[in-house]
Amino acid sequence: MTTETHQVDFAIDDLADLHEVLADYAQRKGPVFEILFGGRPIWLVHDYKLVKQVIADDQYLSAPTAYQKVLGPTMGEVIATMSGAKHRHNRSAVAPVFFPKKMRQLSETVFTVEAEKLAKALKGKKQVNLVKDYVRPFTFNNIASLLGLPAKDVDLLEDWAERIMHSFISLPSAIAACEEMGVYLEPLLADRKKNPQEDVISLLAQVEVNGAGLSDAEIIGFCRNLFPAAIDTSSNTLGTALTIILNNPELKQLALQDETKEALIQEVLRWEPPLVMVPRECVNEINLGGADIKSGDDVRLCITSANNDPEVFSNPREFDPSRKNNNLAFGHGEHFCIGSHMARRVVETGVEVLLKQFPNMQLDTERTTEIVGGVLRGPKEVWVTL
């Protein structure tokens, strides 16, 4: 791969103008091109057709190989790093946790109770940063509750998750967070084996598929994976959804109606995916979109570009919840995110409860709310007047 000097580093820069930057690159370079990522050049696959093609086929650009390098050191053995029979076994073992019916039940109980508790704590305040005081506590507390972890430890868990998800900025810090989280989870798992409770850790400790259960390392890896997932999906999507809705008050009613709220959140995921790009590694040389990609090359599939491809989504930067096209925010086929139902239910519940509690809530016009990030994307702050 040749090295080219770019002004934009997707791993580091805020990129509030991400869509314009991506469109400019594609216009000048075609559907597959080099970008700068953490100071080094990598390939970016841009359009919907090619992104979907690669997601569905690991023959040339491998997801497990890439994730073993990206996630292995910082999360241990997780589903994304597995392939073949092991991948199928682990996915089947954890799938019951995320069944749609189960998530609907949780949205009516655990998720709603947590949202109402946090919303109640905002009463009496005039101005609030929703990301700090509602969005992040809501998503992290939900996962802690599902796993059966003490509420007092959420700040600690959030710190570990933040460090793990920013491994592309500081790998040593992410590896240390992985180890610290493992030390924390090991005695909890041992206790759940002896004294099972009504939580996900207990369920995973007892589950069997074709007579085989999960190893301690697999269970701990799964638990580690859940908290960072709260950053790159639920937290970012909830923050983005609130930003979009508060900028477009006519959308509020859609968020409050059962028959329209799911479509609204689907359009949020299309319009501004929480994960801009996902990793692949070339394992067999391929010419893709006119680019010669060599074995060992680092590749990213740009979900944001695919979801805004005008060949698939007419007027893609127009926010339109009536769209019927399937977007790729949660992947496709074998690599469709197993936690997608949970993420959507968390966001739907978080939005609905907050809007009901504060029907007159508005964005603070004296502060700028921006959706930023070239890897993980969402608003850092959402200041509102209640």
Give the CATH number for residue 185. Answer: 1.10.630.10
Give 328-337 pLDDT, tens digit per residue: 998 877 667 7
Amino acid at the residue 76: G
CA dihedral for 165, 168, 169, 174, sign (positive or negative): positive
Q: Which of 22-36, 90-104, 267-281, 348-362 is the least confident region?
A: 90-104
- The C-alpha angle 383, 385, 386, rounded to 5 degrees, equals 125
- Written as six digits, the tokens of 93 are 């073992």
Q: Which of 63-72, 185-194, 274-283, 302-311 is the least confident region?
A: 63-72
Q: Is the Cβ–Cβ distance between 122 and 231 less than 8 Å?
A: no
Q: Tell me the β-bridge partners of 278.
A: 301
Q: Is the Cβ–Cβ distance between 309 and 200 less than 8 Å?
A: no
Supply the pTM of this predicted model: 0.91
- Say if 13 falls within a structural domain: no
Give the integer Cα–Cα distance in Å for 42 and 36.
6
- Say if 6 falls within a structural domain: no
- Report helix, strand or coil for 371: strand
Q: Tell me the β-bridge partners of 201.
A: none
List all residues 6 or more positions away from 211 whose beta carbon is below 8 Å from its beta carbon. Answer: none
- Say if 228 falls within a structural domain: yes
* 272 CB burial (10 A radius; 0-12, 13-18, 19+): buried
Host domain of residue 66: 18-385
Closest CA to 309 of 104, 51, 108: 51
- Say if 4 falls within a structural domain: no
Unique residue bearing structure tokens 């701990």: 220
Task: Quote the crossing angle between the two packed helices 136-147 and 110-122, to the nearest 10°.
Answer: 140
Q: Tell me the β-bridge partners of 187.
A: none
- Which H helix or E strand runs over 189? helix 171-194
**Beta strand pairing call for 61-62 and 127-129:** unpaired
State how many domains the chain has.
1
* pLDDT (mean) for 80-108: 75
- Say if 11 falls within a structural domain: no
Q: Is the Cβ–Cβ distance between 63 and 280 less than 8 Å?
A: yes
Give the integer Cα–Cα distance in Å for 46 and 220.
34
- Say if 364 falls within a structural domain: yes
* pLDDT (mean) for 215-241: 86
* pLDDT (mean) for 282-304: 97
- Say if 296 falls within a structural domain: yes
- Report helix, strand or coil for 42: strand
For residue 327, which phi and psi values (nearest 5 degrees)? -95, 170
- Say if 165 falls within a structural domain: yes
The DSSP letter of residue 209 is: B
Give 124-154 pLDDT, tens digit per residue: 999 999 999 999 999 989 888 888 888 889 8
* pLDDT (mean) for 106-116: 83
